[in-house]
């Protein structure tokens, strides 16, 4: 399959190596999918499952909302899309904490839209603008995280597998979060649905502010105010998108509605669950508790019996008859029927008792409520979740037959630009990164053996100062001709039209232990892509430069771009390496930090200062050079942020692993720093040689 001519073509769909279809019974559950997608850069095998998971849910929407889905689009259709009341009443911080899989992954898919393939698209820039408004200074996420900390709840980290195993959090909320993460992994393939999903989120009041504490009320109010404010911007993006493909208006509109109702369906799925928890009797609540803990209790009770049956025998039953067990327990000596609060059963869970630590305080309180209950309400029969698709439904996918192992770097460029469409390229990408890093480490020695913040800062300052001191202003005609510069501008197009691509997936780090570092790197990426303003987008600035000197190229996501014979082969060396390492921000984080440092400081000093003057001499707009000179500054710019990110990382390694590990990670950071030179060496020499040959052959520039 070849990628369509537009980066957001509604017909775009991914291909998967070795697969033609996926049966739904092979899909992971929502908890496992959530965990894998949080770490998607290390779990590429989950991508086809995530794709089919989304298809599965959208199929359900067609079944449930088929009569409401329309293929007729009118200008006022977006305003007529309304949501049903789906407000959930929160009983306290613990209820609110259950929504972390949803709140902390909200709108993650919006930033994923901004990637190398879409770098020049006004649509992508507008989507990023919405994302930055939702996550900027008015974001409600800090309020949410602050309440979780103040609550005293001891929850595992969101990125841990233990978090995904938290049974107190309903499955539907992990399902909700997995869908949001799935949209991020396949944001171009499901772009219409993602836009509809986002619009529904902005229009939906997910929580009721009745009978809640003041901090929770403030969170609910702040969230809804911010979301409502983005409705016009999201609607405008949808209208813009539909206008780009008039021949596909009916299809796009249908898909936008599907995404809209998918959000509504997820919100409604979670609402009854909360209401059901409120309506549980003490008996029903204890039954749920027992069903959770008894499978792990078998084999720990020896000869202890209840109603002439061993406890292990009770617990080993499939299914476990919790109501019969509790009835037998009420008739046992463990229960003091006269004064239930003094029952031996409760003392078993106190300090010094044989079951101390099995139940937390809330669970012991629940057990006490059951003992004091006057009436026993048997637990209702279990109800299976309404299936999300027909039992015989099979998700058909397009098989990928590309042999990535045989691709040149020129060919790799196309597939890495479109890695979300061709995820099979990721194996080759990782191999390429290892190859470059091995060379960088083998041919470079550490500038200093023992890392410290001061030594590192002094070293970087020395490099910067040497560059500045060697700068000499242009006093005469440049040594290179105008045609040489124009030819060079053309050769740098594959790299600079993907400017910032090495950080395009760094936001994934925000879910992990390195969240502060991820935030620093993403700030750099925001600047590279224009902070939601097209005129400040670096690839857009470079495209304007190309247009101004008469260089006409195909869009970078199109194979015609990389096939262009005017490029020398090594013009793809740098961007291929940068895009390849960007796919693995967790695995290669220290190397990525070093690489980022090298890229940012390279924009300062004599080379760029002199280049700006020489371009201006020939009447060539030096805007792309000037923007790097200013934004990469060592005081507050990208170079300063690059240093800060490395220092944060080394502090973290020192605190968690000690000095020896810190020195080992410094080796990795410096290898990443040197890898930029390793990846660009052939290109630098090839530029000189190829231009010399062009002049010798008198081929016009």
Q: Which tens digit of pLDDT belongs to each residue from 93-136?
A: 888 899 999 999 999 999 999 999 999 999 999 999 999 999 99
| Full DSSP string of 523-588 | HHHHHHTTTT-GGG-HHHHHHHHHHHTT-----TTSHHHHH-TTS-GGGGHHHHHHHHHHT-TTTT
Mean pLDDT of 527-538: 95
Q: What is the pLDDT of residue 4?
A: 67
Q: What is the percent of the chain with per-residue pLDDT over 70, rounded to a whole number?
A: 92
Q: Which of 459-473, 573-587, 641-655 has the lowest mean pLDDT?
A: 459-473
Q: Is the pLDDT of residue 667 over 90?
A: yes
Single out the residue of 138, 512, 399, 91 nearest to residue 274, CA to CA.
Answer: 91
In a domain, 389, yes or no: no
Report residue 276's pLDDT band, with 50, 70 and 90 as the boundaries: very low
pLDDT mean across residues, the chain: 88
Residue 621 lies in a domain: yes
Q: Which residue has the higher pLDDT, 376 or 261?
A: 261
Say if residue 422 is in the same domain as residue 515.
Answer: yes
Q: Which residue has the tokens 């649509």?
A: 123
Q: Is residue 68 domain-shared with residue 131, that is, in the same domain? A: yes
- Of 180, 177, 156, the C-alpha closest to 166 is 156
Do 274 and 298 fall into the same domain?
A: no
Q: What percent of the chain has pLDDT over 90?
A: 60
Tell me, yes or no, whether 87 lies in a domain. Answer: yes
pLDDT of residue 1: 55
CB 401: neighbour CB atoms within 10 A? 10
pLDDT of 277 strictly over 50: no
Domain residues for 174? Answer: 17-279
Q: Is residue 546 located within the same domain as residue 457?
A: yes
Q: Domains in the chain: how many in total?
A: 3
pLDDT at 198 over 50: yes
Nearest Cα neighbor of 28 from 37, 41, 18, 19 is: 37
Average pLDDT (651-659) is 94
Q: Are residues 275 and 287 in the same domain?
A: no
Assess contact for 51 and 14: CB atoms under 8 A: yes
Q: Choose the final residue of a domain: 279, 301, 332.
A: 279
Identify the weakest region by mean pLDDT among 313-317, 368-372, 394-398, 614-618: 394-398
Whole-number pLDDT of residue 383 = 38
Segment among 117-121, 320-324, 446-450, 486-490 with least mean pLDDT: 320-324
Name the more confident of 282 and 408: 408
Read off the pLDDT of each residue in 122-151 and give the average, rounded to a whole number: 92
Query: Do 249 and 335 have their domain in common?
Result: no
Residues 141 and 227 grouped into a single domain? yes
Of 222, 250, 279, at which residue does a domain stop?
279
Q: How many C-beta neighbours within 10 Å does residue 555 have?
A: 18
Question: Is it the case that residue 435 has pLDDT exceeding 70?
Answer: yes
Q: In which band, very low, low, confident or very high, does the pLDDT at 279 lie, cut at 50, 70 and 90?
A: low
Residue 190 maps to a domain: yes
Do the Cβ atoms of 498 and 116 come closer than 8 Å? yes
| pLDDT at res. 360 | 73
Encode pLDDT of 609-635 as tens digits: 899 999 999 999 999 999 998 888 888
384 pLDDT tier (thresholds 50, 70, 90): very low
Mean pLDDT check: name the lowest of 26-35, 310-319, 435-444: 310-319
Region of 491 (left: φ > 0; alpha: ψ -120 to 50; beta: rest) is alpha
Residue 67 banded pLDDT, cuts 50, 70, 90: confident
**Tens digits of residue pLDDT in 13-45:** 999 886 555 655 567 789 999 999 999 999 988
Q: Same domain, yes or no, for 305 and 190?
A: no
Give residue-wise pLDDT tens across range 155-174: 889 999 999 998 888 888 99
Note whether residue 327 is domain-resident. Answer: yes
Is 613 within a domain?
yes
Residue where a domain terminates, one of 245, 279, 313: 279
pLDDT of residue 253: 96
Q: State yes or no: pLDDT of 386 exceeds 70.
A: no
Highest mean pLDDT: which range of 329-333, 352-356, 587-591: 587-591
**pLDDT score for 512:** 86
Domain-located, residue 388? no
- DSSP track, 185-231: HTTTTTHHHHHHHHHHHHH---EE-TT--HHHHHHHHHHHHHHHHTH
Strands 398-400, 305-306: pairing is unpaired
Residue 247 pLDDT greater than 70, yes or no: yes
What does 28-96 look like in DSSP terms, one character per residue?
PPHHHHHHHHHTGGG-GGGHHHHHHHHHHHHHHHHHHHTTT--S---TTHHHH-------EE--SHHHH
| Domain contains 391 | no
Does one domain contain both 217 and 343? no
Q: Is the pLDDT at 377 greater than 70, yes or no?
A: no
Q: In sequence order, what are the residues at sequence separation of 6 or more whose Cβ sits closer than 8 angstroms to the Cβ of residue 146?
A: none
Together in a domain, 286 and 273: no
| 200 and 329 belong to one structural domain | no
User: How many other CB atoms sit within 10 Å of the CB of residue 615?
Assistant: 21
> Taking 70 as the threshold, does the pLDDT of residue 698 lie above it?
no
Average pLDDT, integer, range 552-565 = 96
Looking at residue 391, what is its pLDDT?
35
DSSP secondary structure letters along 349-380: TSTTSTTTTSS-HHHHHHHHHHHH-SS--PPP
- Structure-model confidence comparison of residues 338 and 235, the more confident one: 235
Residue 403 has pLDDT above 80, yes or no: yes
By CB atoms closer than 10 A (0-12, 13-18, 19+), residue 439 is middle
Q: What is the pLDDT of residue 499?
A: 96
Asked if 584 and 489 sit in the same domain, the reply is yes
CA angle in degrees (0–180, nearest 5) for 591-592-595: 85
Residue (of 96, 393, 43, 387) closest to 223 by Cα position: 96
Least confident of 68-77, 360-369, 447-456: 360-369
In this prediction, residue 375 carries a pLDDT of 56
pLDDT per position as a tens digit, 5-15? 799 999 999 99
pLDDT band at 397 (very low <50, low <70, confident <90, very high): confident
Most confident of 58-72, 140-154, 389-403, 610-624: 610-624
């Amino acid at each position: 399959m070849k990628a369509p001519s537009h980066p957001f073509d509604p017909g775009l769909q991914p291909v998967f190596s070795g697969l033609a279809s996926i049966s739904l019974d092979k899909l992971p559950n929502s908890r496992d999918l959530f965990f894998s997608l949080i770490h998607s850069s290390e779990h590429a095998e989950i991508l086809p499952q995530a794709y089919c998971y989304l298809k599965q849910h959208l199929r359900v929407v067609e079944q449930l909302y088929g009569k409401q889905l329309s293929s007729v689009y009118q200008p006022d259709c977006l305003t007529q899309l309304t949501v049903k009341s789906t407000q959930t009443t929160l009983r306290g911080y613990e209820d609110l904490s259950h929504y972390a899989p949803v709140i902390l992954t909200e709108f993650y898919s919006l930033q994923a839209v901004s990637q190398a393939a879409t770098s020049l698209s006004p649509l992508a820039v507008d989507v990023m603008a919405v994302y930055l408004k939702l996550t900027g200074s008015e974001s409600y996420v800090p309020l949410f995280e602050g309440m979780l900390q103040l609550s005293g709840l001891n929850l595992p980290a969101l990125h841990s597998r233990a978090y995904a195993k938290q049974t107190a959090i309903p499955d539907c909320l992990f399902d909700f979060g997995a869908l949001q993460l799935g949209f991020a992994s396949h944001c171009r393939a499901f772009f219409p649905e993602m836009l509809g999903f986002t619009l529904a989120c902005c229009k939906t009041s997910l929580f009721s502010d009745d009978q809640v504490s003041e901090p929770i009320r403030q969170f609910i109010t702040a969230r809804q105010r911010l979301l409502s404010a983005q409705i016009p911007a999201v609607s405008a993006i949808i209208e813009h998108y539909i206008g780009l493909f008039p021949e596909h208006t009916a299809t796009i509109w249908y898909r936008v509605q599907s995404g809209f109702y998918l959000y509504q369906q997820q919100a409604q799925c979670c609402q009854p669950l909360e209401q059901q928890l409120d309506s549980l009797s003490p008996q029903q609540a204890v039954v749920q508790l027992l069903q959770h803990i008894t499978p792990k209790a078998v084999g720990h009770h020896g000869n202890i019996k209840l109603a002439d049956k061993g406890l292990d025998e009770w617990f080993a039953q499939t299914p476990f008859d919790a109501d019969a067990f509790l009835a037998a327990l009420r008739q046992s000596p463990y229960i003091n029927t006269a004064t239930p609060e003094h029952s031996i059963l409760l003392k078993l869970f106190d300090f010094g008792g044989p079951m101390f630590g099995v139940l937390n305080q809330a669970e012991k309180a629940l057990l006490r409520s059951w003992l004091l209950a006057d009436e026993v309400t048997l637990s209702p029969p279990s109800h299976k979740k309404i299936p999300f698709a027909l039992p015989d439904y099979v998700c058909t996918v397009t098989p990928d037959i590309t042999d990535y192992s045989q691709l040149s770097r020129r060919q790799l460029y196309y597939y890495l630009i479109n890695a979300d469409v061709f995820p099979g390229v990721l194996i080759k990408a990782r191999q390429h990164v290892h190859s470059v890093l091995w060379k960088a480490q083998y041919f470079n020695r550490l500038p200093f053996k023992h890392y410290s913040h001061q030594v590192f800062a002094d070293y970087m300052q020395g490099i910067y100062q040497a560059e500045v001191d060697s700068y000499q202003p242009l006093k005469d005609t440049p040594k290179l001709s105008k045609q040489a510069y124009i030819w060079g501008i053309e050769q740098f197009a594959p790299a600079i039209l993907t400017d910032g691509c090495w950080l395009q997936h760094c936001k994934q780090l925000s879910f992990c232990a390195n969240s502060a570092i991820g935030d620093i790197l993403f700030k750099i990426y925001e600047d590279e892509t224009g902070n939601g303003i097209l005129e400040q987008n670096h690839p857009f600035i470079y495209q304007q430069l190309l247009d101004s000197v008469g260089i006409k190229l195909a869009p970078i996501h199109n194979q015609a771009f990389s096939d262009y014979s005017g490029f020398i082969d090594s013009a793809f060396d740098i961007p291929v390496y940068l895009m390849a390492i960007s796919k693995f921000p967790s695995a290669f984080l220290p190397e990525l930090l070093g690489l980022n440092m090298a890229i940012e400081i390279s924009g300062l000093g004599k080379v760029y200062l002199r280049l700006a003057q020489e371009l201006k001499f020939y009447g060539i707009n030096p805007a792309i050079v000037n923007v790097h000179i200013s934004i990469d500054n060592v005081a507050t710019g990208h170079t300063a942020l690059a240093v800060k990110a490395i220092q944060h990382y080394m502090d973290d390694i020192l605190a968690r692993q000690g000095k020896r590990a810190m020195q080992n990670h410094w080796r990795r950071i410096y290898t990443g720093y040197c890898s930029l030179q390793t990846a660009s060496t052939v290109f630098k020499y090839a530029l000189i040689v190829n231009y010399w040959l062009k002049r010798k052959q008198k081929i016009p520039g």
